[in-house]
Amino acid sequence: MSHPSPEDADPEFERGPVRVIFGERRGGYPDGNSLLVTGERETLLIDPALGLRRNPEALPEIHRILLSHCHEDHTASLSLFPDTPVHLHTLDRPGLDSLDAMLAIYGYGEPIESDFRRVLVERFHYAPRPDAQPYTDGDVFDAGGVRVRVHHAPGHTRGHCCLMVEWDEAGQERRLLYLGDIELTSFGPYYGDAWSDLEAFERSLAWARTVEADWYATFHHIGVLEGRAPFLERLDIFEGAIDRREGQLLEFLAEPRDIEEVAAHRFVYRPKDDVVFAAAVERRSMQQHIDRLVTAGRVVALDEGRYRVA
């Protein structure tokens, strides 16, 4: 998934018990930005990104790994820690049972699936972790003097979560909200997998808009934003991509089109983006828009699988 790198990304961040390990190109895909949370009893690693494989000996002892969700870039260095307990939301946990189970999250089908199967193993080092332990909304991981609280925020995947890191600093509570793949980029939300859901994503964004924190951190590109005002500004840009795609779709459906024509037009990716799974993502993403526009009476379904604005 190729996104632009905004100029307002922080080059580094370390505050209290939290350290962000930035990946290449500020965590640009296929890399990402991992979090270390160091408490009095345990050190937690959140979303072990691909870049950790470059210098794993530089990491401290890791006692527990938390995953915001089960996608290839968020688990790319998980195999470096075969004996470390792993936790993720119960709805995404099946993705660590086997490679087939992981592929079911995407649901790309053939001929894409065979190529992507190799990519998961060779580029992202996928290795099953059937011992992974499920967490659920509201669970708290207490590392000693610092807590990580789970907030289920589905849409990107069924089990996608945001993780709130909480600690006391000079008698004042500090909070950093790790947003996972609520990326805040102009590319916008990704809801193109079999386990994705556009309207669930919109509900998660509405929830995120209400959250008060000192810092907001993303896995890709943005890094860490300080204060609610810059967070809301970036959230507006990110969420605005949904309306932009839908508006462009309505213009395109001025003439009858089927889903293959819609997918080929590219509403999520740019036409020049060389993404092997682009067609599958476009079909899945834009079918969700079409379905709700039909329900709202703004688009009509015609014969032979074609659609047109009402």
Q: What is the 3-state secondary structure (H, E, C) of 231-242?
A: HHHHHHHHHHHH
The reply to whether 231 and 270 lie within a common domain is: no
Same domain for 276 and 134: no
Per-residue pLDDT at 3: 36
Domain that holds residue 292: 253-309
What does the pLDDT read at residue 11?
54
Note whether 267 and 171 are same-domain residues: no
Are the beta carbons of 24 and 5 closer than 8 angstroms?
no
Residues 145 and 263 in one domain: no
pLDDT of residue 26: 85
Do 276 and 197 share a structural domain? no
Do residues 95 and 189 both lie within one domain?
yes
Predicted local confidence at residue 2, as pLDDT: 35
**Residues 166, 35 within the same domain:** yes
Residues 218 and 267 both lie in one domain? no
Q: How far apart are CA 198 and CA 189, in angstroms?
A: 9
Q: Are residues 34 and 182 in the same domain?
A: yes
Report the number of distinct structural domains present in the chain: 2
Does one domain contain both 78 and 131? Answer: yes
Q: Within a domain: residue 68? A: yes
pLDDT tens string, the chain, 310 residues long: the values are 333 334 444 456 999 999 999 999 889 999 999 999 999 999 999 999 999 999 999 999 999 999 999 999 999 999 999 999 999 999 999 999 999 999 999 999 999 999 999 999 999 999 999 999 999 999 999 999 999 999 999 999 999 999 999 999 999 999 999 999 999 999 999 999 999 999 999 999 999 999 999 999 999 999 999 999 999 999 999 999 999 999 999 999 999 999 999 999 999 999 989 888 999 999 999 999 999 999 999 999 999 999 999 9
Task: Please give the DSSP secondary-structure letter assigned to residue 304.
Answer: G
100 belongs to a structural domain = yes
Q: Domain boundary at 190, 214, 240, which?
A: 240
Of the residues 185, 213, 240, the one at which a domain ends: 240
Residue 194, domain CATH: 3.60.15.10
> H-type helices in the chain, by residue range?
24-27, 99-106, 112-122, 198-208, 228-252, 259-265, 278-295
The answer to whether residue 21 is domain-embedded is: yes
Do 212 and 89 fall into the same domain?
yes
Spatial neighbors of 199 by CB under 8 A, at least 6 apart, are 155, 288, 292
Position 1 in a domain: no
**Does a structural domain hold residue 8?**
no
Examine the domain organization and report whether 92 and 186 are in the same domain. yes
Strand partners, 217: 178, 224
**The pLDDT value given to residue 159:** 98
Of the candidates 211, 240, 269, which is a domain's last residue? 240
Does residue 117 lie within any of the structural domains?
A: yes
Is residue 58, in this structure, part of any structural domain at all? yes
Q: Would residue 119 count as lying in a domain?
A: yes
